[in-house]
C-alpha cells in the first residue's frame, strides 16, 4: 500500500522482478482499495509505504489486526528514516519492521517467504492466530470458540496467543476472561503494546475504570501521540463523571486526528451522557468498526429507552448501532432489537431480528431460543403480556 503518492504504481513490478517472492503481491494506492483486499481474506502480509504515522496508516494496521491478527512479523513499513513518533505509532500495533526505500523489494520478498513457511505449519502460533482472527471476522460464534480452543494451550506461554485468546473472549462477550488474557499477554511481554492497550479497553468495558485509566496512562508515557488512547482516557473520565478531564483528552485527540472513529466515539459518549442524544446520533454517521466499550454503551442506552417505553427510539438507536459496530458484536444489537420489538408487541419484526441474530451468531444459542419461544407464545396469545423475563445483552 503506497501512501507516499510516489510513482510506485508504475515501478513496483520492475523493482520486485529480481527477487523470489513466496506469494503474489497486490498493489493499492488508496485506502478503500487496500481495505477491500484485506477484508477479502486472502492477504497475509501488509507492507505500507509511508513517511509518517497518518490516519490511513493506523486504519490499515487496524484492518490487518482485525483480519489477520496481531502478528508483527507479517507486517512492515517502508520508510528510510522514520521519526520516533512514527516508530512509536506503529509499535502500538506491535509493528517493528521498517524497510529502507533502497532495499524494500528484497526485504519484502524475505517477509513473504517467512510468512508462507510459518503458515505452512498448522500448529504454529501464527497459523492458529490467523484462523482465530478469520473466525472472529466471520462472527460465527461456534467457529470462534473452536479456533479459541485451538490456541488455548499456547496462550500460557506465548504473548501473541494470549492476545488472540483475549480477542476471542471479547468476540464471545466474555470481557472478564478477555481482560485476564490481555493481562497475561502484557505480563509476558511488557513491550507488547496491543496487549496492554486491549487490557485497558477490557477493564473499561468491565467497569474497572481506575485500573483501566492506570493502564492507559502508563502507555501514554511512552507514546503521547496515540489518538485512540486519548479517546479511551476520555471515555474512562466520562465513566468517572469527570467531564472536564474527558473533554481535555477529547480535545487533544481531536487535535491529532479529528476524523478518527474512536475520537468520534468519545465525543458521542460525552453527548449521550449529557443527554444530547440527537447530536450523538449525528456523530455516529462518521463511525465505523466501533469497539466493545461504545457498543456496550449503545446497548445500555437502547435498553434504557426500551424499558422506559421509548421502544421506537430504542429501535432507531439499534439500527444505527448495527451499522457501525464490529461484525462480531452485531448479534447482541439484533437480539436487543428483538426484545425491544417484543415490548412493542411487534411479533413479526421481533422474529425477523431474532433470525438475523441467529445468522450473525452462526447458529442458535439458549438465550436466543428462549426469546424466540416467548415471542412465539406471545404471538399465539395475540398480545398477551410481555411474555417472559429475558433480559437484554449489553
Pick the stretch among 38-46, 60-68, 106-114, 378-386 that binds another protein (CB under 8 A).
106-114
130 binds another protein (CB under 8 A): no
CA distance 292 to 197: 13
Angle between helical axes of 311-324 and 292-307 (0-180°, round to 10):
170
Pick the stretch among 5-13, 107-115, 255-263, 359-367 that binds another protein (CB under 8 A).
107-115
Residue with cell 462518521: 286
> What H or E segment, with its residue span, contains residue 389?
none
Which one of residues 158, 254, 265, 360 is an interface residue with another protein (CB under 8 A)?
Answer: 158
Which one of residues 43, 106, 177, 300 is an interface residue with another protein (CB under 8 A)?
Answer: 106
CA distance 156 to 392: 33
Are 193 and 216 spatial neighbours (Cβ–Cβ below 8 Å)?
A: no
107 binds another protein (CB under 8 A): yes
CA distance 269 to 256: 19
Give the rounded distance of the alpha carbon of 157 from its chain centre.
24
91 binds another protein (CB under 8 A): yes
Q: Which cell numbers hold the place of 148?
A: 479459541
Which one of residues 8, 68, 90, 235 is an interface residue with another protein (CB under 8 A)?
Answer: 90
Which one of residues 42, 207, 224, 384 is an interface residue with another protein (CB under 8 A)?
Answer: 224
DSSP track, 254-312: HHH-TT-HHHHHHHHHHHHHTT-HHHHHHHHTT--SB-HHHHHHHHHHHHHHHHTT-HH
CA distance 315 to 262: 23
Number of residues forming the site for another protein (CB under 8 A): 43
Site residues (CB under 8 A) for another protein, limited to 172-201 = 188-192
Which one of residues 11, 120, 222, 373 is an interface residue with another protein (CB under 8 A)?
Answer: 222
20 binds another protein (CB under 8 A): yes
Which one of residues 4, 41, 43, 96 is an interface residue with another protein (CB under 8 A)?
Answer: 96
Pick the stretch among 77-85, 132-140, 291-299, 365-373 that binds another protein (CB under 8 A).
77-85
Binding site for another protein (CB under 8 A): 18-20, 79-85, 87-88, 90-91, 94-100, 102-103, 106-107, 109-110, 113-114, 125, 157-160, 188-192, 221-224
Amino acid at each position: 500500500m503506497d501512501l507516499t503518492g510516489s510513482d510506485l504504481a508504475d515501478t513496483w513490478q520492475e523493482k520486485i522482478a529480481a527477487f523470489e517472492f513466496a506469494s503474489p503481491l497486490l498493489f493499492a494506492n488508496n485506502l478503500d482499495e487496500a481495505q477491500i483486499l484485506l477484508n477479502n481474506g486472502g492477504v497475509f502480509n501488509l507492507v505500507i509505504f509511508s513517511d509518517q504515522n497518518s490516519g490511513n496508516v493506523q486504519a490499515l494496521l487496524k484492518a490487518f489486526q482485525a483480519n489477520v491478527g496481531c502478528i508483527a512479523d507479517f507486517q512492515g513499513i517502508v520508510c528510510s528514516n522514520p521519526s520516533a513518533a512514527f516508530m512509536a505509532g506503529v509499535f502500538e500495533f506491535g509493528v517493528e519492521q521498517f524497510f529502507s526505500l533502497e532495499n524494500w523489494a528484497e526485504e519484502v520478498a524475505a517477509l513473504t517467504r517467512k510468512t508462507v513457511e510459518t503458515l505452512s505449519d498448522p500448529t504454529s502460533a501464527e497459523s492458529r492466530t490467523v484462523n482465530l482472527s478469520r473466525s472472529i471476522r466471520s462472527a460465527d460464534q461456534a467457529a470462534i470458540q473452536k479456533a479459541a480452543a485451538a490456541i488455548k494451550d499456547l496462550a500460557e506461554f506465548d504473548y501473541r496467543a494470549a492476545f488472540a485468546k483475549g480477542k476471542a473472549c471479547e468476540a464471545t462477550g466474555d470481557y472478564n476472561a478477555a481482560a485476564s488474557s490481555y493481562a497475561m499477554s502484557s505480563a509476558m511481554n511488557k513491550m507488547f503494546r496491543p496487549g496492554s492497550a486491549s487490557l485497558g479497553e477490557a477493564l473499561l468495558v468491565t467497569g474497572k475504570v481506575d485500573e483501566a485509566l492506570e493502564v492507559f496512562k502508563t502507555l501514554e508515557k511512552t507514546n503521547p501521540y496515540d489518538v485512540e488512547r486519548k479517546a479511551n482516557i476520555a471515555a474512562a473520565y466520562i465513566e468517572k463523571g469527570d467531564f472536564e478531564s474527558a473533554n481535555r483528552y477529547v480535545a487533544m485527540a481531536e487535535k491529532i486526528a479529528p476524523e478518527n472513529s474512536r475520537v468520534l466515539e468519545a465525543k458521542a459518549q460525552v453527548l449521550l451522557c449529557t443527554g444530547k442524544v440527537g447530536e450523538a446520533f449525528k456523530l455516529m454517521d462518521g463511525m465505523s468498526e466501533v469497539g466493545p466499550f461504545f457498543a456496550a454503551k449503545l446497548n445500555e442506552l437502547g435498553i434504557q429507552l426500551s424499558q422506559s417505553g421509548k421502544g421506537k427510539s430504542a429501535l432507531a438507536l439499534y439500527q444505527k448501532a448495527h451499522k457501525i459496530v464490529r461484525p462480531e458484536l452485531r448479534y447482541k444489537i439484533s437480539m436487543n432489537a428483538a426484545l425491544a420489538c417484543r415490548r412493542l408487541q411487534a411479533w413479526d419484526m421481533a422474529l425477523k431480528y431474532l433470525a438475523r441474530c441467529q445468522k450473525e451468531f452462526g447458529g442458535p444459542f439458549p438465550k436466543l431460543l428462549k426469546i424466540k419461544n416467548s415471542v412465539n407464545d406471545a404471538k399465539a396469545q395475540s398480545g398477551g403480556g410481555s411474555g417472559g423475563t429475558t433480559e437484554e445483552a449489553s
